[in-house]
Chain A
């Protein structure tokens, strides 16, 4: 009765309630046992190991590049879903929607800025992540397969960014996609056909917009989520991040 109210105390109290326990399947994480439960008893955290090497936590071991790439993906999904509420994949309505985002929708400009910025950053960070992993020898056994998954994640990231590039339906979008897809027709024998299938026609038009929209909002994100899940899970199964003797750490 006499104890003054504190936020921490209230949280502690909350964690001991029946409802909390029913949701998280555990009480407060005070012991190592309940801390372990907090990780492997949780669908979203069970991709992580229960314990990690102290050295692998150091900023220099990863610069958190993989994590940040994933966070950017999350930010892109959230801002992307919000943008979908205001977007019609039709020409020229798509462009009018861009104008509406700018002049009509509350915070529409901010939403598009955020999505665009996060997309560019994600491409940059995924590249950086790959090079960083290479220089640290993170591809060496037993991490071989996860490296391959990572290469495919890079390709999916590029395709995600590229398909999104067409959606504003402005000059920048139209000609960037025209230039890019023209390269496909250089492919021997099947080049022209592949280009036709990816554009839904011989030119970048309404069909291409719809195809890129479906790829961008449904197909590629699903592939990305699947590959990200495999990627994270394999990091854990393959024994965590690669650490080197020279990484030092408080343990040494």
Chain B
């Protein structure tokens, strides 16, 4: 046990509680041993009443809003469940329609199991990979090198999605790819209009890409998919 601890932490000199044997103690304070609150705390106010009042107001506004909507909007209810009568298309709840849209392009193992698992793992590990603790812009150092890597990843993704014919993933991916490449030149030119994009860190780009793809897939799955998961326009009336 002790040997293991020594190996893991190179600053750990050893343990000793016998004051006669080890009269001199050295305490090492290593980095990141405990969570500490950093930054300027700024002006502080009492929770009671400043925060509590605001929370109470937020609560009341919310209750009024949902009660008002519930009075005019009706929750959907269809016919009694019938295992013999499959609706076309059978759709999952809206928050899973992005996944259902992916299922249209990829095998169930990939779209239904591997991708969601990777997303959850990705979300969980965000804080542990020191994702952008300093908030450094993507194009801050070694710009040429970064450009080639980004270009490679974007082209590879577009090719992969193109071969899979995953158009509804391809379109938002291409859009983000175009923006990220444009931001390279925007950062170089220091044009004010695009300065915001030029100073975004890599983590910002990845999350924005993820959100855009998720939103596009969910919207397409909800409004633009009809019988046999074919493309339909939400405004065009079709029998069914």
Residue ranges of A at the interface with B (Cβ–Cβ < 8 Å): 29, 32, 35-36, 38-39, 45, 48-55, 57, 64, 67-68, 71-72, 75, 91-92, 95, 98, 102, 109-110, 112-118, 120-121, 123, 127, 130-131, 134-135, 137, 139-145, 147-148, 151, 155, 158, 161-162, 165, 168-176, 178-180, 182-188, 191, 203-205, 238-239, 243, 249-252
CB pair A170–B80 under 8 Å, yes or no, is: yes
B19-27, B125-133, B155-163, B232-240: which lies at the interface: B125-133
The answer to whether A53 and B44 have CB atoms under 8 Å apart is yes
Name the one of A54, A67, A170, A186 contacting B44, with C-beta atoms under 8 angstroms.
A54
Q: Find out whether the CB atom of B43 lies under 8 angstroms from the CB atom of A55.
A: yes
What number of residue pairs across chains A and B have CB atoms under 8 A from each other?
A: 207
> B44-63, CB under 8 A of A: which get 1 and which 0?
11111111101100110011
- Which residues of B132-165 have CB atoms within 8 Å of chain A's CB atoms? 132-133, 135
Is there an interface contact between B75 and A116, defined as CB atoms closer than 8 Å? yes
A41 to chain B, nearest CB (A): 11
Taking the closest CB of chain A, its distance from the CB of B110, in whole angstroms, is: 9
- B45 touches which one: A36, A57, A172 (CB < 8 A)? A57
Contact partner, A110, options B71, B95, B96, Cβ 8 Å: B71
Min CB–CB distance B96 → chain A (angstroms): 6
Contacts of B123 in A (CB 8 A): 130, 151
A174 near B82 with CB under 8 A, answer yes
Q: List 29 A-B contacts (CB under 8 A).
A: A29-B49, A35-B46, A35-B47, A35-B48, A45-B52, A55-B42, A55-B43, A64-B58, A67-B58, A71-B58, A110-B70, A113-B70, A114-B66, A117-B73, A121-B66, A123-B95, A141-B35, A147-B127, A155-B120, A158-B95, A170-B81, A171-B78, A176-B93, A179-B91, A179-B92, A179-B100, A180-B92, A186-B107, A243-B39
Tell me, in angstroms, the Cα distance from A120 to B131 when the chains sit together: 31
Interchain CB contact (< 8 A) of A188 among B43, B69, B109, B128: B109
- Chain B residues 85 to 114 lying within 8 A of chain A, measured CB to CB, are 85-87, 90-96, 99-100, 103, 107-109, 112-113
Q: How far is the CA of A144 from the CA of B126 in the complex (A)?
A: 8
Identify the B interface with A (CB < 8 A).
32, 35-39, 41-52, 54-55, 58-59, 62-63, 66-67, 69-71, 73-83, 85-87, 90-96, 99-100, 103, 107-109, 112-113, 120, 123-124, 126-128, 131-133, 135, 204, 207, 211
Q: Is the CB of B62 within 8 A of A71?
A: yes
| B86 / chain A contacts, CB cutoff of 8 Å | 175
Whether A54 contacts B45 by the Cβ 8 Å rule is yes
Contact between chains at B78 and A172 (CB < 8 Å)? yes
In the complex the two chains form, is B39's CB within 8 Å of A118's CB? no
Q: Name A's interface SS.
A: helix
- In the bound complex, residues from chain A placing their C-beta under 8 Å from that of B63 are 71, 75
Residues of A within 8 A of B103 (CB): 183
